[in-house]
Structures are given as C-alpha cells and as structure tokens.
Amino acid sequence: MRKIEVILAGVIVLLLVIIGVLVWQRTQSDEDDASFSVTISGARADSFTSGEVFYEFVDEYFLDEKQWTHPDTTMLTIQNGSGDTLQVISINIPVDVEPGTYALQTPVDLSTLPVGATVPVDEFTASYYAPDGASYIADVTGLITLTETGDRISGEFAFEASPFDAYGSRANDPTIQVEGTFEGVSLRR
C-alpha cells in the first residue's frame, strides 16, 4: 500500500511539473507574439521595431529614494537599446479600460506631491526618455487608440512632448513627436 502512495505522489508531482512547463510556454509564446513599431520626429529622429515591450500593473513610483503609491493603473512600456543607448516610452493606462480613443496627458510631477501621497490614476499619460537622459514629460498632448484590452492590449498612439529636466525647469530643446503601434502585448501579473 505504501508503495502505491509513493508512486501516486510521484505521478502527481510529475503532472504538476508538466502543467507548470505548459503554462510557462504559453506565457513565453504570448510575449513572443507581441510586436511594436515607433517613430520619433521633431527635435530627435529615430525609429525602431526591436527591443522590449511589456504591459504591467504599477503600484508605486520612486524618485530620489522617495515613494508614492499609484493604485489601479497599468503601464505600457516600450524600450529600445541599453545603457547609453536606452530609450523608453511609457504610457499609463487606467485598469479595466475599454477599447476606444483617449487623450494622452502630461504625467504628474512627483516633486509637487508629498512623499507617500497617492498619484491620480484616472488619466492616460505618456512620456519619452531619450538616450542622453533628456525626459520629454512636459506639455504632453496626443491620443491613444486601444483596439484590444484586458489580458492583452493592442493599439496605436501619437503624442507630442517637451523636455523637462530633473530640477523642474524646461530644457531648451524643441518638442518631439512620438508615434507607434503595439499588438498582442500580454498583461504581466
């Protein structure tokens, strides 16, 4: 009888491992199916279709070792390059959003909020961080159109932004325009 229990336990463990591998392969397949394209014009010019794209929940922001809470929002992030060539596009998207077209706005300036405050979450915001460290997070205007929402997100965006430096004063660079598409990006849980 004891021998049968040991064999059954082994079979159960083996089944759990197989299920885990199948779930992992499905997750990897979903991430591998995601695609994007980005074009940047104006004060900077670039375009790319390779790098990383991910869509995940955001619950905290950190700036200079200070922390703010940011409940009930997700962020679509598109990255290209690494180190000195890294450029990042971030778009905050409220949770449970439906397909449609929404206005993109300037992100909240965390330096104006008390440490530990809750960041407003009912807005769509966009930003672009350039390889030289310039942050295009001021005077953001544009649109995002979501054609698929839920556990996978697809759509397109276009926005214009001005640079803003870490000390709260505008840099002298003119604005940029960022346009892009993204398809089949899975929500990381």
| Nearest Cα residue to 160 out of 183, 182, 173, 143 | 143
Is residue 74 domain-shared with residue 95, that is, in the same domain?
A: yes
| Nearest Cα residue to 53 out of 182, 149, 169, 141 | 182
Is residue 26 domain-shared with residue 64, that is, in the same domain?
A: no
Domain of 41, in residue numbers: 34-188
Instruction: Look up the pTM and report it.
Output: 0.74
- pLDDT for 5 equals 43
Is residue 61 domain-shared with residue 94, that is, in the same domain?
A: yes
58 in Cβ contact with 73 (< 8 Å): yes
- pLDDT for 60 equals 60
Structure tokens at 16: 């759990």
Is residue 10 domain-shared with residue 71, that is, in the same domain?
A: no
- pLDDT for 119 equals 65
Is residue 70 domain-shared with residue 13, that is, in the same domain?
A: no
Is residue 97 domain-shared with residue 64, that is, in the same domain?
A: yes
Is residue 29 domain-shared with residue 120, that is, in the same domain?
A: no
- pLDDT for 121 equals 60
Is residue 25 domain-shared with residue 43, that is, in the same domain?
A: no
- pLDDT for 133 equals 83
Q: Report the chain (189 residues): mean pLDDT per 10 consecutive residues.
A: 42 37 39 86 92 82 58 84 92 90 83 66 83 87 95 96 68 84 91
Is residue 23 domain-shared with residue 66, that is, in the same domain?
A: no
Domain count, the chain: 2
Classify residue 2 as left (phi > 0), alpha (psi -120 to 50) or beta: alpha
Is residue 21 domain-shared with residue 38, that is, in the same domain?
A: no
Is residue 104 domain-shared with residue 139, that is, in the same domain?
A: yes
Is residue 124 domain-shared with residue 139, that is, in the same domain?
A: yes
